[in-house]
Amino acid sequence: MVLRIERSSIHDGDGFRTVVFLKGCPLRCQWCSTPESQSFDIEKTAETVYGTEMTVDEVMKEVRKDSNFFFISKGGLTMSGGEILAQPDFTRAVLSSAHSECINTAIETSFYAPWETVRSVLRYVDTAYVDLKIFSSEMHKRYAGADNEIILKNLESTNEIDDDFRLVVRTPVIPGVNDSEQELESIGRFCSGLKHLHHSELLRYHKLGTATYAKLGRDYPLEGVEPPTLEQMDGYRDIVRRYVEKVI
C-alpha cells in the first residue's frame, strides 16, 4: 500500500531522491505531519484519494525514470512512510531490487518492529534515518502511542552487525514534549554509544500537516504548540553536542 511517490527531494538523503511513501503506521505521534499515512486503508476526501496498491515492479518502473538524476547528484531511492517496517516484505523487495541495480538506498523509519525484520531490511540499505523521538518510555507512550523499548533495543542491536551502512538518528524537537535538557542529554548520551552513527539530526517542529487533519475530519492533538525559534534550536543542538560530535 503506497501513499505516494515524490521526486527530486533533497531532504530525504544525499542528492536528489525519489521517495516512496508507504501507507500505514503502528504509532500515533501527536505531531505527525502526515496523518494520511497512518491508516493502512485507502482513504478518500472530497478532493483526494490517499493510498494505492502497487507491485514491486510498478514501483521500480517509477524509480528508474530518475536514474540519470541519481547518477548526476549522487542521489537514489528513499523508502519512507507511514512506517516501512510495517510492510517488511514489500520494503525489502523494493530495496533489494534497487540495490541490485546499483541505486543508492535510504530508509526513514521508527525502528518499531521485531529485530529480525529490521535486520533483514538493513542488508539492502546505504543510509538508515531512524527516529528517536523521545527517550523516556513513559512519555513516548503518552505522545507516540507506544513505549520505545523495542526502538532502543533495535538501535543498540545495530552495534552487533558489520554491514557498511550509515546510521542517522533524527529527533523532532517538540516544545513542551521532548525539549528539556534532561531529554536531549539522554538522547545524546544514548546516541554516543551507537557504532554506526554518522550524525544526529534535530528536526524543528512544524505544523505543515494541520490542513490534512481538517480534510480527514480529525482534530490536531497539539493545537496551540508553536515551533521553536532558531535560537532555541541552536541551544538544543549544543546540548546534544556534549555527547555527539556532529549534530545537524
Please report the pLDDT score of residue 9 as a whole number.
84
Instruction: Dump the DSSP string for 110-170.
Output: ---S-HHHHHHHHTT-SEEEEE---S-HHHHHHHHSS-SHHHHHHHHHGGG-----EEEEE
**pLDDT tens for the chain, residues 1 to 248:** 999 999 988 888 889 999 999 999 999 999 999 999 999 999 999 889 999 999 999 999 999 999 999 989 999 999 999 999 999 999 999 999 999 999 999 999 999 999 999 999 999 999 999 999 999 999 999 999 999 999 999 999 999 999 889 999 999 999 999 999 999 999 999 999 999 999 999 999 999 889 999 999 999 999 999 999 999 999 999 999 999 999 99
Please report the pLDDT score of residue 16 as a whole number.
92
Which contiguous run of DSSP H or E holds residue 92?
A: helix 88-100
Please report the pLDDT score of residue 10 as a whole number.
81
Provide the 10 A C-beta neighbour count for residue 10: 11
Please report the pLDDT score of residue 12 as a whole number.
84
C-alpha distances in angstroms, 148 versus 28, 40, 88, 130, 152? Answer: 13, 21, 19, 13, 6
Query: Model pTM?
Result: 0.96
Q: Could you tell me the residue ranges of all domains in the chain?
A: 2-240
What is 2-240's CATH topology? Answer: TIM Barrel (3.20.20)
Please report the pLDDT score of residue 11 as a whole number.
83
Cell of 229: 525559534
Please report the pLDDT score of residue 208 as a whole number.
87
